Structure 1
Protein backbone atom coordinates (compact mmCIF):
# COMPACT_ATOMS: atom_id res chain seq x y z
CA UNK A 1 0.00 0.00 0.00
CA UNK A 2 1.35 3.42 -0.94
CA UNK A 3 1.91 6.30 1.42
CA UNK A 4 -1.29 8.02 2.51
CA UNK A 5 -1.78 11.59 1.35
CA UNK A 6 -5.02 12.39 3.15
CA UNK A 7 -4.30 16.12 3.38
CA UNK A 8 -3.12 16.84 -0.15
CA UNK A 9 -4.11 20.42 -1.03
CA UNK A 10 -5.33 21.17 2.48
CA UNK A 11 -4.21 23.75 5.02
CA UNK A 12 -3.76 22.83 8.68
CA UNK A 13 -3.07 24.96 11.72
CA UNK A 14 -1.57 23.44 14.88
CA UNK A 15 -1.29 25.30 18.17
CA UNK A 16 1.25 24.30 20.79
CA UNK A 17 3.26 23.10 17.83
CA UNK A 18 6.79 23.87 19.01
CA UNK A 19 7.22 20.54 20.79
CA UNK A 20 5.63 17.29 21.85
CA UNK A 21 2.24 16.30 20.49
CA UNK A 22 1.82 19.50 18.49
CA UNK A 23 5.16 19.21 16.72
CA UNK A 24 4.53 15.55 15.96
CA UNK A 25 1.06 16.31 14.61
CA UNK A 26 2.40 19.10 12.40
CA UNK A 27 4.96 16.69 10.97
CA UNK A 28 2.32 14.00 10.44
CA UNK A 29 -0.05 16.33 8.61
CA UNK A 30 2.77 17.76 6.49
CA UNK A 31 3.97 14.27 5.58
CA UNK A 32 0.51 13.59 4.16
CA UNK A 33 0.42 16.69 2.00
CA UNK A 34 -0.86 19.50 4.21
CA UNK A 35 0.47 23.01 4.19
CA UNK A 36 1.00 23.68 7.88
CA UNK A 37 0.92 26.74 10.12
CA UNK A 38 2.60 26.04 13.46
CA UNK A 39 1.64 28.39 16.28
CA UNK A 40 3.13 28.51 19.76
CA UNK A 41 3.81 30.90 22.60
CA UNK A 42 7.42 30.02 21.79
CA UNK A 43 7.61 31.62 18.37
CA UNK A 44 11.23 30.64 17.80
CA UNK A 45 10.39 27.03 18.60
CA UNK A 46 7.44 27.12 16.21
CA UNK A 47 9.62 28.46 13.42
CA UNK A 48 12.29 25.86 14.19
CA UNK A 49 9.77 23.05 13.67
CA UNK A 50 8.50 24.76 10.51
CA UNK A 51 12.06 25.01 9.19
CA UNK A 52 12.58 21.29 9.81
CA UNK A 53 9.45 20.53 7.83
CA UNK A 54 10.49 22.85 5.00
CA UNK A 55 13.85 21.11 4.82
CA UNK A 56 11.92 17.92 4.09
CA UNK A 57 10.00 19.55 1.26
CA UNK A 58 6.85 20.60 3.11
CA UNK A 59 5.28 24.04 3.04
CA UNK A 60 5.22 25.27 6.64
CA UNK A 61 5.41 28.48 8.62
CA UNK A 62 5.92 29.16 12.33
CA UNK A 63 4.04 31.91 14.14
CA UNK A 64 4.27 33.24 17.70
CA UNK A 65 0.86 33.35 19.36
CA UNK A 66 -0.48 33.60 22.90
CA UNK A 67 -3.85 31.90 22.59
CA UNK A 68 -5.19 33.68 25.68
CA UNK A 69 -4.91 36.97 23.75
CA UNK A 70 -7.93 37.40 21.49
CA UNK A 71 -6.15 39.89 19.23
CA UNK A 72 -3.20 37.55 18.69
CA UNK A 73 -5.53 34.67 17.86
CA UNK A 74 -7.42 36.82 15.35
CA UNK A 75 -4.13 37.87 13.75
CA UNK A 76 -3.00 34.24 13.55
CA UNK A 77 -6.05 33.19 11.58
CA UNK A 78 -5.99 36.28 9.38
CA UNK A 79 -2.38 35.49 8.48
CA UNK A 80 -3.19 31.83 7.84
CA UNK A 81 -6.11 32.46 5.50
CA UNK A 82 -4.39 35.47 3.94
CA UNK A 83 -1.39 33.32 3.06
CA UNK A 84 -3.14 30.12 1.99
CA UNK A 85 -6.68 31.32 1.15
CA UNK A 86 -8.31 28.49 3.11
CA UNK A 87 -8.31 26.51 6.35
CA UNK A 88 -9.25 22.85 6.48
CA UNK A 89 -7.84 21.49 9.73
CA UNK A 90 -7.23 23.02 13.14
CA UNK A 91 -5.54 21.07 15.92
CA UNK A 92 -6.11 23.10 19.10
CA UNK A 93 -3.37 21.52 21.13
CA UNK A 94 -1.74 24.18 23.34
CA UNK A 95 -2.15 23.56 27.06
CA UNK A 96 -0.78 24.19 30.54
CA UNK A 97 -0.57 22.08 33.69
CA UNK A 98 0.61 22.33 37.29
CA UNK A 99 0.19 19.63 39.91
CA UNK A 100 -0.76 20.13 43.56
CA UNK A 101 -3.17 19.15 46.36
CA UNK A 102 -6.60 20.71 45.96
CA UNK A 103 -6.28 22.37 49.37
CA UNK A 104 -3.21 24.25 48.14
CA UNK A 105 -4.24 25.26 44.61
CA UNK A 106 -4.22 29.06 44.39
CA UNK A 107 -6.86 31.05 42.57
CA UNK A 108 -4.12 32.29 40.27
CA UNK A 109 -3.10 28.75 39.32
CA UNK A 110 -6.74 27.74 38.85
CA UNK A 111 -7.41 30.71 36.59
CA UNK A 112 -4.28 30.03 34.55
CA UNK A 113 -5.46 26.48 33.84
CA UNK A 114 -8.77 27.78 32.57
CA UNK A 115 -7.30 30.78 30.74
CA UNK A 116 -4.97 28.60 28.67
CA UNK A 117 -6.77 25.27 28.45
CA UNK A 118 -10.37 26.45 28.15
CA UNK A 119 -10.60 30.11 27.12
CA UNK A 120 -7.54 29.93 24.88
CA UNK A 121 -8.72 26.74 23.21
CA UNK A 122 -12.19 28.22 22.79
CA UNK A 123 -10.76 31.33 21.09
CA UNK A 124 -8.71 29.19 18.71
CA UNK A 125 -11.59 26.85 17.86
CA UNK A 126 -14.06 29.70 17.46
CA UNK A 127 -11.71 31.52 15.08
CA UNK A 128 -11.11 28.30 13.14
CA UNK A 129 -14.83 27.61 12.88
CA UNK A 130 -15.53 31.12 11.62
CA UNK A 131 -12.87 30.83 8.91
CA UNK A 132 -14.03 27.38 7.87
CA UNK A 133 -17.62 28.56 7.65
CA UNK A 134 -16.57 31.58 5.59
CA UNK A 135 -14.46 29.50 3.22
CA UNK A 136 -17.41 27.18 2.65
CA UNK A 137 -15.38 23.98 2.38
CA UNK A 138 -16.23 22.54 5.78
CA UNK A 139 -13.35 21.37 7.91
CA UNK A 140 -12.19 19.48 10.95
CA UNK A 141 -11.30 20.82 14.39
CA UNK A 142 -9.52 18.53 16.84
CA UNK A 143 -8.90 19.59 20.43
CA UNK A 144 -6.35 18.03 22.76
CA UNK A 145 -8.22 17.10 25.90
CA UNK A 146 -6.89 14.52 28.38
CA UNK A 147 -7.75 11.19 29.93
CA UNK A 148 -8.00 13.30 33.09
CA UNK A 149 -11.22 14.74 31.69
CA UNK A 150 -12.98 11.46 32.42
CA UNK A 151 -10.72 9.83 35.01
CA UNK A 152 -10.25 11.84 38.23
CA UNK A 153 -6.62 12.08 39.31
CA UNK A 154 -5.49 13.30 42.72
CA UNK A 155 -3.42 16.51 42.56
CA UNK A 156 -4.76 17.40 39.09
CA UNK A 157 -7.98 19.16 40.16
CA UNK A 158 -7.55 22.25 37.98
CA UNK A 159 -6.20 20.38 34.97
CA UNK A 160 -8.85 17.64 35.04
CA UNK A 161 -11.61 20.23 35.44
CA UNK A 162 -10.35 22.32 32.54
CA UNK A 163 -10.00 19.34 30.24
CA UNK A 164 -13.48 18.11 31.17
CA UNK A 165 -14.75 21.50 30.00
CA UNK A 166 -13.10 20.89 26.63
CA UNK A 167 -15.01 17.65 26.19
CA UNK A 168 -18.29 19.51 26.58
CA UNK A 169 -17.07 22.33 24.31
CA UNK A 170 -16.26 19.68 21.71
CA UNK A 171 -19.79 18.29 21.85
CA UNK A 172 -21.56 21.66 21.78
CA UNK A 173 -19.45 23.04 18.93
CA UNK A 174 -19.98 19.86 16.93
CA UNK A 175 -23.72 20.15 17.42
CA UNK A 176 -23.82 23.75 16.23
CA UNK A 177 -21.30 23.54 13.41
CA UNK A 178 -22.68 20.55 11.56
CA UNK A 179 -24.70 22.90 9.37
CA UNK A 180 -21.38 24.31 8.12
CA UNK A 181 -20.01 20.77 7.61
CA UNK A 182 -17.38 21.50 10.22
CA UNK A 183 -16.62 18.48 12.38
CA UNK A 184 -15.33 18.90 15.94
CA UNK A 185 -13.70 16.10 17.93
CA UNK A 186 -11.10 15.72 20.66
CA UNK A 187 -8.33 13.34 21.61
CA UNK A 188 -7.81 12.42 25.26
CA UNK A 189 -4.19 11.32 25.66
CA UNK A 190 -3.16 9.25 28.63
CA UNK A 191 0.26 9.84 30.16
CA UNK A 192 2.43 10.77 27.19
CA UNK A 193 6.16 11.44 27.08
CA UNK A 194 6.33 15.19 26.55
CA UNK A 195 7.94 18.20 28.19
CA UNK A 196 4.74 18.69 30.21
CA UNK A 197 5.06 15.27 31.89
CA UNK A 198 8.86 15.18 32.23
CA UNK A 199 8.95 16.35 35.86
CA UNK A 200 6.27 13.89 36.94
CA UNK A 201 7.97 10.98 35.21
CA UNK A 202 11.27 11.94 36.85
CA UNK A 203 9.75 11.26 40.30
CA UNK A 204 9.69 7.53 39.69
CA UNK A 205 6.13 7.45 38.43
CA UNK A 206 7.16 6.00 35.07
CA UNK A 207 7.25 2.42 36.36
CA UNK A 208 3.81 2.79 37.90
CA UNK A 209 2.27 4.15 34.73
CA UNK A 210 3.85 1.46 32.59
CA UNK A 211 2.70 -1.22 35.04
CA UNK A 212 -0.92 -0.04 35.06
CA UNK A 213 -1.31 0.59 31.31
CA UNK A 214 -2.51 -2.62 29.62
CA UNK A 215 -0.29 -1.96 26.61
CA UNK A 216 2.66 -1.70 29.04
CA UNK A 217 4.16 1.60 27.94
CA UNK A 218 3.61 5.31 28.06
CA UNK A 219 2.11 7.16 25.15
CA UNK A 220 4.37 8.76 22.57
CA UNK A 221 3.61 11.97 20.70
CA UNK A 222 3.34 9.93 17.50
CA UNK A 223 0.55 7.84 19.03
CA UNK A 224 -1.50 10.96 19.64
CA UNK A 225 -0.60 12.51 16.28
CA UNK A 226 -1.89 9.41 14.50
CA UNK A 227 -5.22 9.76 16.30
CA UNK A 228 -5.42 13.48 15.51
CA UNK A 229 -4.72 12.79 11.85
CA UNK A 230 -7.48 10.18 11.81
CA UNK A 231 -10.00 12.62 13.31
CA UNK A 232 -8.84 15.42 11.01
CA UNK A 233 -9.10 13.32 7.86
CA UNK A 234 -12.00 11.97 5.84
CA UNK A 235 -11.33 8.58 7.43
CA UNK A 236 -13.54 9.87 10.24
CA UNK A 237 -15.98 11.71 7.98
CA UNK A 238 -19.01 10.45 9.93
CA UNK A 239 -17.61 11.28 13.37
CA UNK A 240 -18.24 14.54 15.21
CA UNK A 241 -18.67 15.55 18.83
CA UNK A 242 -16.53 12.66 20.06
CA UNK A 243 -13.75 12.67 22.65
CA UNK A 244 -11.45 9.75 21.87
CA UNK A 245 -9.31 8.11 24.56
CA UNK A 246 -5.78 7.37 23.38
CA UNK A 247 -4.25 5.97 26.54
CA UNK A 248 -3.14 2.39 25.94
CA UNK A 249 -6.07 1.26 28.06
CA UNK A 250 -4.79 3.13 31.11
CA UNK A 251 -8.21 4.52 31.90
CA UNK A 252 -9.55 1.02 32.50
CA UNK A 253 -7.62 0.69 35.76
CA UNK A 254 -7.56 2.53 39.06
CA UNK A 255 -6.12 5.89 40.06
CA UNK A 256 -2.35 6.40 40.19
CA UNK A 257 -2.29 7.93 43.68
CA UNK A 258 -4.05 6.28 46.62
CA UNK A 259 -4.47 6.77 50.35
CA UNK A 260 -6.17 5.01 53.25
CA UNK A 261 -9.46 6.87 53.49
CA UNK A 262 -10.07 5.40 56.96
CA UNK A 263 -7.47 7.84 58.34
CA UNK A 264 -9.85 10.72 58.96
CA UNK A 265 -8.42 14.22 58.75
CA UNK A 266 -5.12 13.30 57.14
CA UNK A 267 -3.95 11.54 54.05
CA UNK A 268 -0.79 9.61 53.31
CA UNK A 269 -0.90 9.82 49.53
CA UNK A 270 1.37 7.35 47.79
CA UNK A 271 1.88 6.03 44.33
CA UNK A 272 -0.23 2.90 44.05
CA UNK A 273 2.65 0.42 43.93
CA UNK A 274 4.23 1.98 47.04
CA UNK A 275 0.96 1.73 48.95
CA UNK A 276 0.48 -1.90 47.96
CA UNK A 277 4.04 -2.75 49.01
CA UNK A 278 3.57 -1.04 52.38
CA UNK A 279 0.28 -2.85 52.98
CA UNK A 280 1.87 -6.20 52.15
CA UNK A 281 4.78 -5.53 54.50
CA UNK A 282 2.42 -4.54 57.32
CA UNK A 283 0.45 -7.75 56.85
Structure 2
Protein backbone atom coordinates (compact mmCIF):
# COMPACT_ATOMS: atom_id res chain seq x y z
CA UNK A 1 0.00 0.00 0.00
CA UNK A 2 1.36 3.41 -1.00
CA UNK A 3 0.89 6.30 1.43
CA UNK A 4 0.78 9.66 -0.29
CA UNK A 5 1.39 12.88 1.62
CA UNK A 6 -1.68 15.09 1.60
CA UNK A 7 -2.89 18.45 2.81
CA UNK A 8 -0.37 20.70 1.01
CA UNK A 9 -2.04 21.35 -2.33
CA UNK A 10 -2.83 25.06 -2.64
CA UNK A 11 -1.22 25.94 0.68
CA UNK A 12 1.28 28.79 1.10
CA UNK A 13 4.70 28.11 2.60
CA UNK A 14 7.39 30.58 3.65
CA UNK A 15 10.99 29.32 3.60
CA UNK A 16 13.73 31.60 4.93
CA UNK A 17 17.37 31.41 3.90
CA UNK A 18 16.58 29.59 0.67
CA UNK A 19 18.70 31.35 -1.96
CA UNK A 20 21.90 29.32 -2.11
CA UNK A 21 22.30 26.73 -4.86
CA UNK A 22 23.64 24.02 -2.54
CA UNK A 23 21.43 24.50 0.48
CA UNK A 24 18.77 22.93 2.66
CA UNK A 25 16.53 25.96 2.18
CA UNK A 26 16.44 25.64 -1.60
CA UNK A 27 15.65 21.92 -1.35
CA UNK A 28 12.82 22.53 1.11
CA UNK A 29 11.31 25.27 -1.06
CA UNK A 30 11.38 23.06 -4.15
CA UNK A 31 10.02 19.96 -2.41
CA UNK A 32 7.17 21.93 -0.82
CA UNK A 33 6.31 23.23 -4.29
CA UNK A 34 6.42 19.69 -5.63
CA UNK A 35 3.96 18.74 -2.88
CA UNK A 36 1.58 21.49 -4.00
CA UNK A 37 2.56 24.63 -2.09
CA UNK A 38 3.00 28.15 -3.35
CA UNK A 39 6.27 29.33 -1.83
CA UNK A 40 7.71 32.56 -0.45
CA UNK A 41 11.51 32.37 -0.67
CA UNK A 42 13.72 34.68 1.34
CA UNK A 43 17.40 35.48 1.18
CA UNK A 44 19.76 38.19 2.33
CA UNK A 45 20.34 39.82 -1.05
CA UNK A 46 23.90 38.55 -1.44
CA UNK A 47 26.30 40.46 -3.67
CA UNK A 48 26.71 38.28 -6.81
CA UNK A 49 30.44 39.02 -6.86
CA UNK A 50 30.73 36.96 -3.70
CA UNK A 51 28.91 33.89 -5.02
CA UNK A 52 30.98 30.68 -4.92
CA UNK A 53 32.49 29.47 -8.18
CA UNK A 54 29.82 26.86 -8.92
CA UNK A 55 27.01 29.42 -8.55
CA UNK A 56 28.79 31.90 -10.80
CA UNK A 57 29.43 29.21 -13.41
CA UNK A 58 25.76 28.22 -13.35
CA UNK A 59 24.56 31.81 -13.67
CA UNK A 60 22.81 31.41 -10.34
CA UNK A 61 20.58 34.30 -9.23
CA UNK A 62 19.92 33.43 -5.59
CA UNK A 63 16.23 33.54 -4.57
CA UNK A 64 15.18 34.41 -8.12
CA UNK A 65 16.62 31.13 -9.40
CA UNK A 66 14.77 29.18 -6.70
CA UNK A 67 11.57 31.06 -7.56
CA UNK A 68 11.97 29.93 -11.18
CA UNK A 69 12.23 26.31 -10.01
CA UNK A 70 9.04 26.69 -7.99
CA UNK A 71 7.19 28.23 -10.94
CA UNK A 72 8.43 25.44 -13.23
CA UNK A 73 6.52 23.05 -10.96
CA UNK A 74 3.33 25.00 -11.60
CA UNK A 75 3.23 26.87 -8.29
CA UNK A 76 3.37 30.56 -7.45
CA UNK A 77 6.63 31.92 -6.07
CA UNK A 78 7.43 35.14 -4.24
CA UNK A 79 11.14 35.91 -3.76
CA UNK A 80 11.78 38.47 -0.99
CA UNK A 81 15.04 39.88 0.36
CA UNK A 82 14.62 39.83 4.13
CA UNK A 83 16.86 40.11 7.18
CA UNK A 84 15.06 37.82 9.64
CA UNK A 85 16.85 39.42 12.59
CA UNK A 86 15.11 42.73 11.81
CA UNK A 87 11.65 43.03 13.38
CA UNK A 88 10.34 45.49 10.80
CA UNK A 89 11.63 43.38 7.90
CA UNK A 90 9.86 40.31 9.26
CA UNK A 91 6.58 42.18 9.67
CA UNK A 92 6.95 43.47 6.10
CA UNK A 93 7.57 39.91 4.91
CA UNK A 94 4.33 38.77 6.55
CA UNK A 95 2.40 41.65 5.01
CA UNK A 96 3.75 40.95 1.50
CA UNK A 97 3.01 37.25 1.84
CA UNK A 98 -0.62 37.84 2.80
CA UNK A 99 -1.12 40.69 0.32
CA UNK A 100 0.28 38.78 -2.66
CA UNK A 101 -0.53 35.13 -1.88
CA UNK A 102 -3.55 35.55 0.37
CA UNK A 103 -2.66 33.35 3.30
CA UNK A 104 0.05 31.44 5.19
CA UNK A 105 0.01 27.77 6.17
CA UNK A 106 3.61 26.60 6.59
CA UNK A 107 6.62 28.49 7.93
CA UNK A 108 10.12 27.02 7.67
CA UNK A 109 12.71 28.92 9.71
CA UNK A 110 15.86 27.90 7.89
CA UNK A 111 17.92 31.13 7.74
CA UNK A 112 21.20 30.74 9.61
CA UNK A 113 24.45 32.61 10.09
CA UNK A 114 27.33 31.43 7.93
CA UNK A 115 30.35 29.82 9.54
CA UNK A 116 32.88 32.45 10.50
CA UNK A 117 34.77 34.01 13.38
CA UNK A 118 32.48 32.38 15.93
CA UNK A 119 34.15 28.97 15.51
CA UNK A 120 36.74 29.54 18.24
CA UNK A 121 37.07 28.69 21.96
CA UNK A 122 34.80 30.70 24.25
CA UNK A 123 37.76 32.53 25.75
CA UNK A 124 38.60 33.86 22.27
CA UNK A 125 35.03 34.53 21.13
CA UNK A 126 34.30 38.15 20.26
CA UNK A 127 31.00 39.59 21.45
CA UNK A 128 30.23 40.77 17.92
CA UNK A 129 30.59 37.22 16.57
CA UNK A 130 28.37 35.84 19.33
CA UNK A 131 25.72 38.51 18.68
CA UNK A 132 25.73 37.92 14.92
CA UNK A 133 25.05 34.20 15.28
CA UNK A 134 22.38 34.58 17.97
CA UNK A 135 20.70 37.42 16.05
CA UNK A 136 20.12 35.34 12.92
CA UNK A 137 19.74 31.83 14.29
CA UNK A 138 17.70 32.47 17.42
CA UNK A 139 16.33 36.02 17.32
CA UNK A 140 15.37 35.52 13.67
CA UNK A 141 13.54 32.28 14.42
CA UNK A 142 11.74 33.99 17.31
CA UNK A 143 10.70 37.01 15.23
CA UNK A 144 9.44 34.84 12.39
CA UNK A 145 7.60 32.52 14.77
CA UNK A 146 5.97 35.39 16.65
CA UNK A 147 4.84 37.31 13.56
CA UNK A 148 3.55 34.36 11.56
CA UNK A 149 2.02 32.57 14.56
CA UNK A 150 -0.03 35.67 15.29
CA UNK A 151 -1.38 35.54 11.75
CA UNK A 152 -1.99 31.79 11.88
CA UNK A 153 -4.01 32.20 15.08
CA UNK A 154 -6.21 34.87 13.50
CA UNK A 155 -6.47 32.90 10.26
CA UNK A 156 -7.94 30.10 12.36
CA UNK A 157 -7.09 27.11 10.18
CA UNK A 158 -4.10 25.66 12.02
CA UNK A 159 -0.68 25.48 10.45
CA UNK A 160 2.83 24.11 10.72
CA UNK A 161 6.01 25.87 11.84
CA UNK A 162 9.23 23.98 11.16
CA UNK A 163 12.48 25.24 12.66
CA UNK A 164 15.75 24.05 11.16
CA UNK A 165 18.00 23.50 14.15
CA UNK A 166 21.05 21.21 14.18
CA UNK A 167 22.48 18.28 16.05
CA UNK A 168 25.05 20.88 17.08
CA UNK A 169 22.45 22.11 19.55
CA UNK A 170 22.57 18.67 21.20
CA UNK A 171 26.28 17.85 20.77
CA UNK A 172 27.51 21.28 21.93
CA UNK A 173 30.97 20.71 20.53
CA UNK A 174 34.11 22.57 21.49
CA UNK A 175 34.71 25.69 19.43
CA UNK A 176 31.04 26.05 18.51
CA UNK A 177 29.62 27.83 21.58
CA UNK A 178 27.62 30.51 19.77
CA UNK A 179 26.27 28.15 17.11
CA UNK A 180 25.45 25.37 19.56
CA UNK A 181 23.78 27.74 22.02
CA UNK A 182 21.68 29.28 19.25
CA UNK A 183 20.52 25.90 17.97
CA UNK A 184 19.78 24.60 21.47
CA UNK A 185 17.75 27.77 21.93
CA UNK A 186 15.82 27.00 18.75
CA UNK A 187 14.95 23.57 20.14
CA UNK A 188 13.72 25.09 23.41
CA UNK A 189 11.74 27.74 21.52
CA UNK A 190 10.18 24.94 19.47
CA UNK A 191 9.04 23.11 22.59
CA UNK A 192 7.59 26.19 24.27
CA UNK A 193 5.70 27.43 21.22
CA UNK A 194 4.35 23.96 20.45
CA UNK A 195 2.78 23.91 23.91
CA UNK A 196 1.36 27.41 23.49
CA UNK A 197 0.03 27.06 19.94
CA UNK A 198 -1.35 23.54 20.03
CA UNK A 199 -4.79 24.77 21.09
CA UNK A 200 -4.92 26.67 17.79
CA UNK A 201 -4.03 23.50 15.81
CA UNK A 202 -0.65 25.00 14.99
CA UNK A 203 2.12 22.41 15.15
CA UNK A 204 5.72 23.43 15.83
CA UNK A 205 8.63 21.07 15.23
CA UNK A 206 12.39 21.26 14.72
CA UNK A 207 14.61 19.30 12.38
CA UNK A 208 18.19 18.76 13.53
CA UNK A 209 20.35 17.94 10.51
CA UNK A 210 23.77 16.41 10.86
CA UNK A 211 26.55 16.79 8.31
CA UNK A 212 24.76 17.73 5.10
CA UNK A 213 26.25 18.28 1.65
CA UNK A 214 25.77 22.03 1.29
CA UNK A 215 27.99 25.00 0.56
CA UNK A 216 28.64 25.29 4.30
CA UNK A 217 31.12 22.41 4.03
CA UNK A 218 33.33 24.39 1.67
CA UNK A 219 35.51 25.87 4.41
CA UNK A 220 36.97 22.46 5.23
CA UNK A 221 38.84 20.02 2.98
CA UNK A 222 37.02 16.96 1.70
CA UNK A 223 39.58 14.81 3.53
CA UNK A 224 38.65 16.48 6.83
CA UNK A 225 34.96 15.79 6.33
CA UNK A 226 35.57 12.24 5.11
CA UNK A 227 37.54 11.49 8.27
CA UNK A 228 34.82 13.03 10.44
CA UNK A 229 32.09 11.04 8.68
CA UNK A 230 34.00 7.77 8.97
CA UNK A 231 34.50 8.30 12.70
CA UNK A 232 31.02 9.57 13.61
CA UNK A 233 28.26 8.59 11.16
CA UNK A 234 27.03 4.98 11.26
CA UNK A 235 25.56 5.27 7.76
CA UNK A 236 29.00 6.26 6.49
CA UNK A 237 28.07 9.27 4.35
CA UNK A 238 26.94 12.88 4.55
CA UNK A 239 23.28 13.64 4.01
CA UNK A 240 21.77 15.52 1.09
CA UNK A 241 19.63 18.67 1.30
CA UNK A 242 16.78 16.70 -0.28
CA UNK A 243 16.83 14.19 2.57
CA UNK A 244 16.32 17.01 5.07
CA UNK A 245 13.65 18.50 2.81
CA UNK A 246 11.69 15.24 2.76
CA UNK A 247 11.44 15.37 6.55
CA UNK A 248 10.23 18.97 6.38
CA UNK A 249 7.54 18.16 3.82
CA UNK A 250 6.31 15.28 5.96
CA UNK A 251 6.10 17.51 9.03
CA UNK A 252 4.06 20.02 7.05
CA UNK A 253 1.64 17.38 5.74
CA UNK A 254 -1.59 15.93 7.10
CA UNK A 255 0.25 12.69 7.81
CA UNK A 256 2.15 14.48 10.61
CA UNK A 257 -1.03 15.91 12.15
CA UNK A 258 -0.22 14.40 15.56
CA UNK A 259 3.44 15.40 15.61
CA UNK A 260 4.36 18.57 17.50
CA UNK A 261 7.05 19.79 19.86
CA UNK A 262 9.67 17.43 18.45
CA UNK A 263 13.33 17.94 17.54
CA UNK A 264 14.07 15.23 14.99
CA UNK A 265 17.63 14.21 14.21
CA UNK A 266 18.25 13.75 10.48
CA UNK A 267 21.90 12.84 10.79
CA UNK A 268 22.86 9.44 9.43
CA UNK A 269 22.65 7.92 12.91
CA UNK A 270 25.23 10.17 14.56
CA UNK A 271 23.04 10.77 17.60
CA UNK A 272 21.51 7.50 18.74
CA UNK A 273 19.03 6.75 21.50
CA UNK A 274 20.72 6.04 24.82
Shorter-chain TM range is: 0.7 to 0.9
Equivalent residues in 2 for 1:185-264, closer than 5 Å:
185-202=205-222, 204-252=224-272
Choose from 160, 163, 169 the match for 1:149: 169
Equivalent residues in 2 for 1:54-65, closer than 5 Å:
54-65=71-82
Contact kept, 8 Å, 2:6 with 2:254, in 1: the verdict is: no
Q: Does 1:182 align with 2:202?
A: yes
* Residue 160 (structure 1) aligns with: 180
Q: How big is the shift at 1:245?
A: 0.6
Equivalent residues in 2 for 1:1-283, closer than 5 Å:
1=2, 4=5, 6-19=7-20, 20-42=23-45, 45-96=62-113, 97-98=115-116, 99-202=119-222, 204-252=224-272
Q: TM-score, normalised by structure 1?
A: 0.85
Unaligned runs of 5+ in 1: 254-283
Question: Which gives a bigger RCO, structure 1 or 2 (Cα 8 Å, sep 6+)?
Answer: 2
- Distance in 1, matches of 2:97 and 2:233, equals 39
SS of residue paired to 1:250: coil
Q: Which runs of 4+ in 1 moved over 3 A?
A: 1-6
Q: TM-score, normalised by structure 2?
A: 0.87
Deviation track 1:7-54 (CA, whole Å, cap 9, x = no partner) reads 101110000111200100000000011011101113751122101221
* Residue 277 (structure 1) aligns with: none
- Distance in 2, matches of 1:156 and 1:2, equals 40
Identify if the C-alpha distance between structure 1 residues 203 and 123 changes in structure 2 by more than 3 Å, giving closer, same or farther: farther
Unaligned runs of 5+ in 2: 47-60
Q: How big is the shift at 1:210?
A: 3.8
- Distance in 1, matches of 2:94 and 2:221, equals 35
Deviation track 1:69-89 (CA, whole Å, cap 9, x = no partner) reads 111110101111111221110
SS of residue paired to 2:168: helix
Contact kept, 8 Å, 1:5 with 1:33, in 2: the verdict is: no
Give the number of equivalent residue pairs: 253
SS of residue paired to 2:220: helix
- Distance in 2, matches of 1:152 and 1:84, equals 39
* Residue 270 (structure 1) aligns with: none
Contact kept, 8 Å, 1:118 with 1:165, in 2: the verdict is: yes
- Distance in 2, matches of 1:126 and 1:64, equals 19
Identify if the C-alpha distance between structure 1 residues 7 and 95 changes in structure 2 by more than 3 Å, giving closer, same or farther: same
Identify if the C-alpha distance between structure 1 residues 132 and 150 changes in structure 2 by more than 3 Å, giving closer, same or farther: same
Contact kept, 8 Å, 2:9 with 2:37, in 1: the verdict is: yes
- Distance in 2, matches of 1:228 and 1:3, equals 15
Q: How big is the shift at 1:57?
A: 2.2
Deviation track 1:117-137 (CA, whole Å, cap 9, x = no partner) reads 010111011111011111111
